[in-house]
Amino acid sequence: MHKLSASLLLAMSVAGCATGSVAPPTLSYSAPVAREVTYDYSSTTTLGISLMGQSMQLRQEGSATYSVGFTPTAAGVDVRLSVVELSASISNPLGAPITVDEGAIEGSLEFSLDRVGNAILRTTPVVAEEASQMFSGIALANGFFPGLPGRAVGLGDQWVDTVSYEGETDMGMRSETSILTYTVTGDTVVSGRPLLVFEMSGSVSSEFDMSVQGMSVGQASELEVEGRVLWDHRTSEMVESRRTAVGEGSLRIPLTPAPLPIRIESTEHARLKERP
């Protein structure tokens, strides 16, 4: 990645004066024709719990391969996401680790995105109980792809994406509100492919009411988020996304009379696989 230098901007301006201005790229969701791509995805989350003066840590980590199909629509694109491979685990000090693979998820996640990335959930896969803490269709539909401005952008331009949703998942009720600010910070070339770079920062607040191994559990958190997206504006494709989230919250379990304080740290990485 590199920043657009002053000399490069000057050269672009001179060239524009001499040969006609080049229109800045428009960032929006579109697909001239139906296509299918593959993303590699990985994530790690640690949840620290304070209980009666002692600290415990739950760790969740995994990697997956997603097959993602895009179909053009009048409003944007329809998306079909299938889990091709999955290897994930949850470890905690009070029990044996839980491991899952792609066999725990049956069917595809289908949703629609408008030009700026607002999602409408269509269908969700059937998720086994042991995988419900690691795979959420409603969360993927609303958060896997970045929010876009739906307009032309240049270096330094910003836009704010606010996403709020509530719905029932395989593990219970989930609600989330994210407010992220995106800033175009430069460009880069990956495998000969020119890409725009934009940074993200903001906050995510969420609440879960879920059943975990027969227990009714509630969790609430407020996280600060930072990240970066590489975007191909010529094909309207996310090529890479990285983000980290850190914050505090509370955990409600039947064994304690009051919510337990928690600290959450997570990282996520998604990357488009090169076409053969």
Locate the domains of the chain by residue range: 27-272
**What's the whole-number mean pLDDT along residues 197-220?**
87
**What's the whole-number mean pLDDT along residues 62-67?**
97
∠ Cα 13 235 40 (to 5°): 120
Asked if residues 182 and 146 have their Cβ atoms less than 8 Å apart, the reply is yes
Question: What is the Cα–Cα distance from 138 to 244, expressed in whole angstroms?
Answer: 20
Find residue 26's DSSP bridge partners.
Answer: 152
Find residue 55's DSSP bridge partners.
Answer: 50
Is 228 in a helix, a strand, or coil?
strand
The CATH label, of 1.10.3470, 2.60.120, 2.30.230, 1.25.10, for the domain at 27-272 is: 2.30.230
| pLDDT the model gives residue 88 | 95
What's the token pair of residue 251? 């955990």
Q: Is 236 left (phi over 0), alpha (psi -120 to 50) or beta?
A: left
Q: How confident is the model at residue 53 (pLDDT cuts 50, 70, 90)?
A: confident
133: pLDDT strictly greater than 90: no
pLDDT tens per residue, range 210-260? 766 667 888 999 999 999 999 999 999 999 999 999 999 998 888 788 888
Asked if residues 204 and 245 have their Cβ atoms less than 8 Å apart, the reply is yes
Is 137 in a helix, a strand, or coil?
helix
| pLDDT the model gives residue 164 | 96
Between 2 and 77, the higher pLDDT residue: 77
Buried b (16+ CB within 10 A) or exposed e, 206-229: bbbbbebeeeebebbbebebebeb
Q: What Cα–Cα distance (Å) separates residue 198 from each residue in 123, 242, 245?
A: 30, 11, 17
Mean pLDDT of the chain: 88
> Among 170, 155, 154, 151, which Cα is nearest to 209's?
170
Instruction: Name the DSSP letter for residue 144.
Output: S
209: pLDDT strictly greater than 80: yes
| pLDDT the model gives residue 12 | 32
| pLDDT the model gives residue 212 | 65
> Among 177, 172, 161, which Cα is nearest to 210's?
172
* Least confident stretch, 1-10, 37-46, 235-244: 1-10
Find residue 64's DSSP bridge partners.
Answer: 41, 86
Find residue 196's DSSP bridge partners.
Answer: 187, 231
| pLDDT the model gives residue 7 | 31
User: pTM of the prediction?
Assistant: 0.87
Q: What Cα–Cα distance (Å) separates residue 110 from each residue in 68, 170, 210?
A: 10, 16, 23
% of the chain residues with pLDDT over 70: 88
Q: How confident is the model at residue 6 (pLDDT cuts 50, 70, 90)?
A: very low
Matching residue, tokens 């201005």:
21
| pLDDT the model gives residue 13 | 34
4: pLDDT strictly greater than 50: no
Alpha helix ranges (H) inside the chain: 6-19, 137-143
Who's near 228: CB < 8 A, 6+ residues apart? 197, 198, 199, 200, 240, 241, 242, 243
Question: What is the Cα–Cα distance from 251 to 263, expressed in whole angstroms?
Answer: 10
